[in-house]
Amino acid sequence: MNDHQKQFETVIGLEVHVQLDTQTKIFCGCPNVFGKAPNTQTCPVCLGLPGTLPVLNQQVLLHAIKIGLALNCNINTFIKFDRKNYYYPDLPKGYQISQFDYPIAQNGHLDIPIKGEEVKRIRINRAHIEEDAGKLIHDDAGNCSLVDYNRTGTPLIEIVTEADLRSPQEAYDYLQLLKLTLKYLYVSDCDMEKGSLRCDANISIREKGETQLGTKTELKNLNSFKAVKAGLEFESERQKQVVLAGNRVIQETRLWDENKGITFAMRSKEGSHDYRYFPEPDLVPFTVEEKTIQEIKEAMPELPSEKQKRLISQYQISKYDANILIQDKDIALFFEQCAELCPHTKKICNWLNGQLLQELNTRKNTFRDIDLKPQALTDIILNTENGIISNLAAKDIFKLILDTPQSVAALIEKKGLAQVSDDAELTKLADEIIEQNTKAANEFQQGKQNALGFLIGQAMRKTQGKANPKLIGDIIKRRLIDAQ
């Protein structure tokens, strides 16, 4: 077969590190906060000073169980911690406390949406608890590197998929759903920019139909969702070119260069890794009672895919709309509050998924930052539906309400935004418009339907948008036909 006819398949597995949202670090009482001055959130324990010992933060285990359950994993009832030994300046003890053979959760899955009604099951191999390392800052001018240990000991959960992802897009979709799921659990803010969600990828290619895995490369420095997709796309293509050129893919760690849009092999090869895992003697084992698992299960919030299904059936909205709504748990809740007050669920979706997201985007706000009452939005919708205000006016009112929360009715009154729907008044207006635009009026009478739109536009302009566009259109039409 000609090389160029070869069909390749990309095989991807993701390792995602998620920082857990707790008050304190995993093994000491230092605050678990981001963005403080270097080395101000440390203590002898997280600095790894000789003689210090770790004690597990109970909240970390509870969060981890919650995550494991949300990812449909088996929760191991016996867990322990192990030391992963390696040298790096951001790792003050010379080992990372992690979990090797008894992780908290194993054998789960996440179903990601693909085209139509279908989902694809991505198997989760395991999720384990570990501690984060510090941060290295490369000071090129000073020809040195600087270590900030604030991040050291931040609780992490590492979620490892099977090599089930078959394209960069699937990897992207998986990550999005994973992030959403974790946000629903309130266990992490999953902000890739802040590093609270980090993703490494194992990627290989193989000819379609081949069952053996190809040689993989490990991709790092994927610092945004966009970078994950772009980096994987580049790497997949690069590997194809390597194979097509008759060469072999080398197993190595490669870094994504966001600016250049390429991946490159890491320079500092540390030789073959031998992490010499062994049971952490400074921590005792842990058992998870069935009762604890049940309690957490019962307190588990509705997860995104469940919510999506329910919204569709309960409110008769489209899958598309429901999918946008669930992207923000707070907006989805707001939708349901609005739907209590107003039957126009499609209209509510349109407002939330259109105008609201646009406004949040321009204001660089999250839904939590603004003060929007369900009643305000449903008042706007009902006033529009009843023809009291025009769509244009409705949009103005919406913006004003986001600026300053206030009564919709009062605002319509104050700004005089109510539409003119009075028949006599509109008839008078129609006659004025026809008289002032005889050319267009004639054209309509000669069968040019477009001319009516022009006349309506003129009426709207004259009344500064207050004329009810449907009514004025009807009246102009009637007057012109009557006049013939």
Partner 1 sequence: MKLNQRTAHELRDLIKSNETSVDKIYAAVRTQIDKSEKEVNAFVRLQEHNLQDLKPKQDLAFPIPIAIKDNICIKENETTCASKILAGFKPPYNATVIDKLLDSGAVFIGNANMDEFAFGSSTETSFFGPTKNPWDLKCVPGGSSGGSTAAVAADEAIWAIGSDPGGSIRQPASLCGVVGLKPTYGRVSRYGLIAFASSLDQIGPITKDVTDSALLLNILAGHDPKDSTSADCRSINLLNTRNQRSKRSSQNQEIPDYTQSLIEDVKGLTIGIPKEYFVEGMDPEVKDAVMASVAILKDQGACFKEISLPHTEYAVATYYIIATAEASSNLARFDGVAFGLRERPSQIRKNTLVDMYEETRDKGFGMEAKRRIMLGTYSLSSGYYDAYYLKGLKVRSLIKQDFDTAFEELDAIITPTSPTTAFKIGERANDPLSMYLSDIYTISANLSGIPAISIPCGFSKKGLPIGLQIMANAFNEEMLLRIAYSYEQATEWHKKRVNL
Partner 2 sequence: MISTEEVKNIASLSRIHLKDAEAGILSQDLEKILDYINKLEQLELSGIDPTTHVLPLKNVFRKDAVIPSLKQEQALSFSIEQKDGAFKVPKIIE
Q: Which residues bind partner 1 (CB under 8 A)?
A: 44, 47-56, 83, 85, 87, 89, 92-95, 147, 149, 268, 274, 276-278, 281-284
Element (DSSP H or E) covering residue 9: strand 8-19
Contact present, 100 and 285 (Cβ < 8 Å) = no
**Planar angle of CA 131, 135, 136, nearest 5 degrees:** 140
Distance in angstroms (rounded) separating the CA atoms of residues 397 and 272: 64
**48 touches which of partner 1, partner 2, none (CB within 5 to 8 A by kind)?**
partner 1
* Residue 49 or 119 having the CB closest to partner 1: 49
Query: Least separation, in Å, of the C-beta of 203 and partner 2?
Result: 19
Cβ neighbours around 473 below 10 Å, total? 19
Alpha helices (H) in 354-390, listed in sequence order: 357-363, 374-385
Query: DSSP per residue over 63-88, as a string?
Result: HHHHHHHHTTPEEPSEE--EEEE---
The DSSP letter of residue 8 is E
As beta bridge partners, residue 255 has 220, 264
Distance in angstroms (rounded) separating the CA atoms of residues 399 and 238: 48
* Residue 152 or 345 having the CB closest to partner 2: 152
Query: Least separation, in Å, of the C-beta of 314 and partner 1?
Result: 48
Contact present, 208 and 8 (Cβ < 8 Å) = yes
Q: Does 284 bind partner 2 (CB under 8 A)?
A: yes
**119 touches which of partner 1, partner 2, none (CB within 5 to 8 A by kind)?**
none
Q: Which residue of 279, 343, 387, 465 would you call a contact of partner 2, by CB under 8 A? A: 279
Query: Least separation, in Å, of the C-beta of 253 and partner 1?
Result: 16
**195 touches which of partner 2, partner 1, none (CB within 5 to 8 A by kind)?**
none
Distance in angstroms (rounded) separating the CA atoms of residues 89 and 107: 34
* Residue 89 or 354 having the CB closest to partner 2: 89
Q: Which stretch binds partner 2 (CB under 8 A): 222-230, 275-283, 314-322, 448-456?
A: 275-283
Q: Does 227 bind partner 2 (CB under 8 A)?
A: no
Distance in angstroms (rounded) separating the CA atoms of residues 109 and 272: 31
**142 touches which of partner 2, partner 1, none (CB within 5 to 8 A by kind)?**
partner 2
Site residues for partner 2, 79-98, by CB under 8 A, read: 80, 87, 89
Query: Least separation, in Å, of the C-beta of 56 and partner 2?
Result: 5
Contact present, 79 and 284 (Cβ < 8 Å) = no
Q: Does 114 bind partner 2 (CB under 8 A)?
A: no
Contacts with 94 (C-beta within 8 Å, 6 or more apart), sequence order: 48, 85, 86, 87
Amino acid code (one letter) for 185: L
Site residues for partner 2, 34-73, by CB under 8 A, read: 37-44, 47, 55-61
CA torsion angle for 472, 432, 456, 448 (degrees, to 10)?
A: 110
Query: Least separation, in Å, of the C-beta of 137 and partner 2?
Result: 7
* Residue 139 or 191 having the CB closest to partner 2: 139
Distance in angstroms (rounded) separating the CA atoms of residues 383 and 390: 8
* Residue 100 or 454 having the CB closest to partner 1: 100
Contacts with 204 (C-beta within 8 Å, 6 or more apart), sequence order: 10, 11, 163, 213, 214, 215, 216, 217, 239, 249
Binding-residue total with partner 2 (CB under 8 A): 53
Query: Least separation, in Å, of the C-beta of 175 and partner 1?
Result: 32
Q: Does 365 bind partner 2 (CB under 8 A)?
A: no
Q: Does 146 bind partner 2 (CB under 8 A)?
A: yes
Contact present, 60 and 155 (Cβ < 8 Å) = yes
* Residue 77 or 445 having the CB closest to partner 1: 77
- Residue for token digits 């009062």? 410
Site residues for partner 2, 153-192, by CB under 8 A, read: none
Query: Least separation, in Å, of the C-beta of 139 and partner 2?
Result: 7
**93 touches which of partner 2, partner 1, none (CB within 5 to 8 A by kind)?**
partner 1
* Residue 287 or 404 having the CB closest to partner 2: 287
Amino acid code (one letter) for 28: C
Contact present, 111 and 6 (Cβ < 8 Å) = no
* Residue 48 or 103 having the CB closest to partner 1: 48
Q: Which residue of 160, 242, 283, 400 would you call a contact of partner 2, by CB under 8 A? A: 283
* Residue 89 or 354 having the CB closest to partner 1: 89
Contacts with 400 (C-beta within 8 Å, 6 or more apart), sequence order: 406, 411, 415
Distance in angstroms (rounded) separating the CA atoms of residues 431 and 328: 50
**319 touches which of partner 1, partner 2, none (CB within 5 to 8 A by kind)?**
none
* Residue 87 or 404 having the CB closest to partner 2: 87
- Closest to 378 measured CA to CA, from 351, 403, 359, 399: 351
By CB under 8 A, name the binding residues for partner 2: 22-24, 28-31, 37-44, 47, 55-61, 80, 87, 89, 136-140, 142-149, 255, 266-268, 271, 274, 276, 279, 281, 283-287
